[in-house]
Chains A and B, each alone.
Chain A
Amino acid sequence: MEETPGSHPPGGDDFPPGDDGCTRRRALNAFLASGVVATGASVAYPLGRFLLPPEQAESAASSVVAGDKTGPFRPDDFPVNTGRIFKMGSKPGILVRLPDGEFRAFSAACTHLSCLVSYRADKKVLWCACHAGAYDLTGRNIAGPPPRPLAAFTVNVKGDEIIVSRGS
């Protein structure tokens, strides 16, 4: 259009002046308005949804509420002398309840070949079934091929939630 300034679109002059031109213009404005509304709606909808607080109110970071796909673990439903795997960020963790009721948490990836460790109630150790690696309940490697201790996490019980955090 820029190349032929001022030229009217083909057929532009054929529109009779007067009422018909006015009707056409009114139809155009209505069409334009509907476009504005539709676009506005398709922008406003995701924006509005974004502003609404999500179900889980904040992002978890260095601490997580220990739980699995059935939901968070409850201190009352966690038998002593057992251990359960939970998700610590993107890595597996294991939460153990000692016979005296204390909770302890460790990385659950064996330091040998990253198999999942489990809690052996009979021997009171963290046990890796792949090559019989064993760790004591402070995470120290005590038997089998594991070269390093398991990373230990801090456990806090808050109400009916068990919160596991990295670091001391």
Chain B
Amino acid sequence: MRAILLPAILLLLAGAARAGDSCVPCHEGLQDPRLSAPVKASASDIHFRRGLNCSSCHAGDGTASRKEDAHSAAKGFRVPRGAAAVESCAKCHSDAAFMKNFDPAARTDQEAQYRGSHHGQKLAAGDDKAATCVSCHGNHGVLPVKDPSSPVYPLNVPATCGRCHGSAEYMKGRKIPVDVLAKYEGSVHGKALLGRGDVGAPACNSCHGNHGATPPEIASVANVCGTCHSEQADLFRTSKKKANFDENGIAECVFCHSHHDIAPPTDAMLGTGEKSVCLQCHQDEDDAGFVAARKWEAGFRSLVGKLEDATHVLEKAERAGMEVSDPLFRLSEARDHLTQARVLIHAYDAGKVVEKLAAGEAVAVAARGDGEMALSEIDYRRRGLYVSLFAIGLLAVGIWFKIRDLDRKLPPA
């Protein structure tokens, strides 16, 4: 019944809006921008374009010609803020049958998710600074999520969250850090998303959720990272480290890679140097982990060195005009072995890593050999040149003497 009734009401409302909505003509002319801006923004608003109008959220009487009647408390006029805003949005967005009229695949669990989120719980506890629907989606001029100008479009999410979570003033008196936005912007994910515009890279909500925003628990970190880094997560889950980390209550990925400011991983994170993350636990020199860390780092250094070496030789040959695109191509295969070996670290199985590194080294060494051959081909060309220059020189000297001989026969001037 409701499924039929609501659209009918909606159509009526829309018809009323077109027939004689008095909010717009009145508010348009108001001097105070706080009162005129909402009307102007509504032109691009997805709700307006689908037929809603001011009274859909503000109630009151949209057909009245006098302000007192339009804003009549008797007719329920209100400015929904805080919990009222959530209710106002949820009126439609939690109604699956109603939402189906606009998008058959629309989700309607946002309100439920929100109620369970930190934001929702704070709001329920009376914290009026907690984010509600409009904090992220805006109120007047709401755009579809897929619109690149929407504040919740992936590229804009960090700035939107950062409006509160990056502001020390707004977050005053709370225990959570406000450097998260700055940290994220410098991270490998932040650079991918904001620098390269790669919308496949994670924004805040990719790890924290959006409507149900909550920090991931220690136990679930690996699952969160594993949504994208599934290979690493799978390897880690089946490794002997898993039980170890669980026993000691260590957050899996985060323990070595940190979280908001995740830097691109380096080989120096292995080994026993300053940047080593292994040394967080394996500090004793006779500790098996310490020994393995040193051995692995050496292995990676060796492959990286061989790759650089091969690249150097091949580029030298290329600069000298030799065609070495084939070994250069194969070098990309060796680089892949390196990438895969780096992934395999997460299995904590020395055998697998060493095997992968060896495969990479074999390819790199072979490519270097091809480069050396190309360089020796240059020597062959040079030798050939010297032989032919000798022949040409012989001829030139011969002609030189011939000219002298011919000139001698000329009659004197």
Residue ranges of A at the interface with B (Cβ–Cβ < 8 Å): 1, 5-6, 8-9, 12, 25, 28-29, 31-32, 34-36, 38-39, 41-43, 46, 69, 85, 87, 90-92, 112, 115-116, 129-132, 144-147
Contact = CB atoms under 8 A, between A and B. Distances in A.
Contact of B405 (A28, A34, A42, A87): A28
Interface in B158-196: none
B365 to A, nearest CB: 13
A142 to B, nearest CB: 13
Nearest to A144: B228
Contact of A69 (B330, B397, B407): B330
A144 B232 CA distance: 13
Nearest to B397: A35
Contacts of A116: 332-333, 336
A5 B333 contact: no
A147 B198 contact: yes
Given A35-B399, A147-B198, A115 B339 contact: yes
Interface stretch (B23-31, B61-69, B236-244, B388-396): B388-396
B391 A42 contact: yes
A12 B404 contact: yes
Contacts of B412: 6
Given A6-B411, A8-B408, A130-B339, 18 more contacts: A5-B413, A6-B413, A25-B405, A28-B401, A32-B402, A36-B395, A38-B390, A38-B394, A39-B388, A39-B391, A42-B391, A43-B388, A69-B330, A90-B325, A132-B228, A132-B231, A144-B200, A146-B200
Q: Say whether chain B's binding surface is mostly helix, strand, loop, or mixed.
A: helix
Contact of A9 (B387, B392, B404): B404
Contacts of A32: 395, 398-399, 401-402
Interface string B185-224: 0000000000000111100000000000000000000000
Contacts of A147: 198-200
A8 B407 CA distance: 7
Interface in B356-393: 384, 387-388, 390-392
A144 B402 CA distance: 79
14 contacts: A1-B407, A5-B413, A6-B412, A28-B405, A32-B395, A36-B395, A38-B390, A42-B391, A87-B326, A87-B329, A92-B329, A112-B198, A116-B333, A145-B200
Contacts of B336: 115-116
Nearest to A117: B336
B294 to A, nearest CB: 26
Contacts, number: 98
A69 to B, nearest CB: 7
Nearest to B344: A129
A131 B200 CA distance: 10
Nearest to B413: A6
A87 B200 CA distance: 28
Contact of B410 (A6, A41, A69, A145): A6
B99 interface: no
Contacts of B229: 131-132
A155 B413 CA distance: 80
Given A12-B408, A116-B332, A132-B229, A145 B198 contact: yes
Contacts of A42: 387-388, 391-392
Contacts of A90: 325, 329
Contacts of A144: 200, 228, 230
B57 interface: no
B72 interface: no
| Residue of B387, B390, B395, B402 with highest tally of chain A CB at under 10 A | B395
Nearest to B411: A6
B89 interface: no
B263 interface: no
Contacts of A41: 391
A28 B399 CA distance: 9
A145 B201 contact: yes
A32 B398 CA distance: 5
A35 B396 contact: yes
Contact of B391 (A29, A31, A38): A38
A61 to B, nearest CB: 15
Contacts of B408: 8-9, 12
A28 B407 contact: no
Contacts of A85: 333
A126 B360 CA distance: 21
| Residue of A35, A43, A85 with highest tally of chain B CB at under 10 A | A35
B85 interface: no
A65 to B, nearest CB: 14
Contacts of B329: 87, 90-92
A147 B333 CA distance: 22
B338 to A, nearest CB: 11
